[in-house]
Structure 1
């Protein structure tokens, strides 16, 4: 009898423990077709993975440990929907564990990955994080990633929330060694990075300010579009079925150098009077109309200017989305970017069109230069359409 009671108690305790814990599997798949003009070697018609919503799968869970506190974890992997390939490491998008409390907030440690603080800026993007948007004119700077990190997010206090990150380098030299890397042409290790974010919400408005910095492996800010300080402020305001967007971003890299932009220190050909920028600014305005519960239409204009003679560029975009269910959405976007005579920003993601000349404007490296930037003073136009489903 005692043995039976003991087994029942163990099973009951086990059931209670499972009732207080949960694990959720989730993911999304996004594939579409894209056509772009103004490429260095002509026009391009391609199939693309994640032009809106980066394909991913993962699991997240919670365990109630009492005192209104939960242990939380998240593991997330990115993949290419065209060939099924996984990123460089399995859980490169996020691998964190932490504690969450309704009164004290949430603290997490681990690989922040694609949830580096700067990526929260996509809440301010009228094009909802589609490929042509808030990251285009800053050559992918807003795609920043980070690992070896700590994060704290406060509870919501009268509409205000504070969030901070600090990413260690796990190196005895303090600055070097972080395997997280931004999208720039160097592709090398980052140094220390981190920042702070403030958000404030009302019934109609969402306001956000972010200060974020990413250093190179020597602890310097040597490339505006990769290793730099960023300060951003903006907001959204909803009026009926229309949401208005606006914002401003300033990038600063006081130690900018040829090495920071070109790796070996030997720059590709640049227009006369230009040199690596130490600052670049961006501002944008846009609106999104939720015409029906399933349909939205968006329009936005973005403008950037870089110092040291590097000119300016303007991006014009239109988007449409149509949800056929709670899980599946069809989407499309058309955009054109126009450059001044000393600028050559393209419609790429920052990896394929970093700062520097393409193979047409720089004939000396034409055999090895695979950049997709337009020519200096040129333009690019692109359109894509696809479908994303979530589970």
Structure 2
């Protein structure tokens, strides 16, 4: 016969096992993760406003940030999810509002619907085929990041849908509200995109439209001057743009350890106004033609390079760049890169994340370290 003390001990053990099982089940159904990245380095630019520049950089490949993301299993192939990220410049501690935050629902059968401040379809379906949206990062953006392939701006007040994977085919779209009473079309945006991946080949297409970027304080985009537009000579000035349409198409093909890529984009900006004087300016359009390659030389060494030709309404730019990265561990790597840009027709060279040159040429040589956590 079991003694009362043994019964109590057995009951306590059973309760403990039940508690552990329930806790494990709860943990399996709901997850929260803290993550992020710090990227900083040293850079030399031969021509910034006519002078050489040496600087400590913050994010020449990826913008530094920390984030929280999590999900909760709702059953039936459905889960709730959230993502909260905040950017910063490790060189000086400046806070940056350049990352997404959203909440939504994900279904295995019907796709994902999220609401918040988010990346548009250019980021999701086109940018991965450019080097700035892949291994190269920030400094490899097309001149002035005119097509937003480097995510110079995210869409606030946005509703976004992403489909499940249908045999390698995915698609999605975004709509960002102006939030203005009686001004539905002011400072709004919408985008569409699709991607196909099968075997060694993958391709994507995306389109982004926005009205009056920054024209209101509570709309899709923050109220600040849009960089990258200019007058007839292509000069760099602060402007607001009445309407902008951007389309991008890209493709990759994998041959062994080498990924070959090609991308084309066109950004058309109309209703251009000088941000200081309010004077009207000519419309401007950028066409970007990019060829790139990424070679995984060894498991720890990656080599990437690109050539981009950008033609604007009255000027054009040539840009070449090479980057090598060495993986010290799963979370830490060091890198070195060089970018050269040459402009014509009186336009300045302007490598992304650096101030414009005083003339048509600009060269950047940089090295850095990245750590992910």
Structure with greater proportional strand content: 2
Larger CA deviation: 101-110 vs 277-286? 277-286
TM-score normalised by L of structure 1: 0.78
Alignment of 1:234-245 (within 5 A): 234-245=250-261
In structure 2, the residue matched to 1:150 is 159
In structure 2, the residue matched to 1:95 is 101
Report the Cα distance in structure 1 between the residues aligned to 2:362 and 2:331, rounded to whole angstroms.
32
Matched residue SS, 2:123 = helix
TM-score normalised by L of structure 2: 0.82
Q: State the 1:297 CA deviation.
A: 1.2
Q: State the 1:134 CA deviation.
A: 3.4
Alignment of 1:226-241 (within 5 A): 227=241, 228-241=244-257
Q: Is the 8 A contact 2:267 2:287 kept in 1?
A: yes
Counterparts in 2 of 1:34 and 1:80: CA distance versus 1, 3 Å: same
The partner residue of 1:67 within 45, 65, 76 is 76
Larger CA deviation: 208-217 vs 225-234? 225-234
Counterparts in 2 of 1:6 and 1:243: CA distance versus 1, 3 Å: closer
Q: Is the 8 A contact 2:147 2:267 kept in 1?
A: no
Report the Cα distance in structure 1 between the residues aligned to 2:189 and 2:296, rounded to whole angstroms.
37
Q: State the 1:242 CA deviation.
A: 1.0
CA offsets 1:216-246 (integer angstroms, 9 cap, x no match): 1389xx9775751100001111111111111
Alignment of 1:123 with 2:105, yes or no, is no
CA offsets 1:289-341 (integer angstroms, 9 cap, x no match): 1111111112211011111xx21110011111111111111112101111112
Alignment of 1:280 with 2:286, yes or no, is yes
Matched residue SS, 1:254 = strand
Alignment of 1:259-338 (within 5 A): 259=273, 261-265=274-278, 276-307=282-313, 310-338=314-342
Counterparts in 2 of 1:32 and 1:17: CA distance versus 1, 3 Å: same
Counterparts in 2 of 1:331 and 1:8: CA distance versus 1, 3 Å: closer
Matched residue SS, 2:155 = coil
Matched residue SS, 2:122 = helix
In structure 2, the residue matched to 1:248 is 264
Report the Cα distance in structure 2 between the residues aligned to 1:45 and 1:264, rounded to whole angstroms.
34
Q: Is the 8 A contact 1:277 1:306 kept in 2?
A: no
Counterparts in 2 of 1:6 and 1:78: CA distance versus 1, 3 Å: same
CA offsets 1:228-276 (integer angstroms, 9 cap, x no match): 1100001111111111111111111232x3x2x4442359xxxxxxx63
Q: State the 1:16 CA deviation.
A: 3.1
Q: Is the 8 A contact 2:117 2:157 kept in 1?
A: yes
Alignment of 1:49 with 2:58, yes or no, is yes
In structure 2, the residue matched to 1:136 is 143
Report the Cα distance in structure 2 between the residues aligned to 1:87 and 1:133, rounded to whole angstroms.
20
Unaligned runs of 5+ in 2: 1-7, 220-224, 230-239
In structure 2, the residue matched to 1:374 is 357
Q: State the 1:87 CA deviation.
A: 2.5
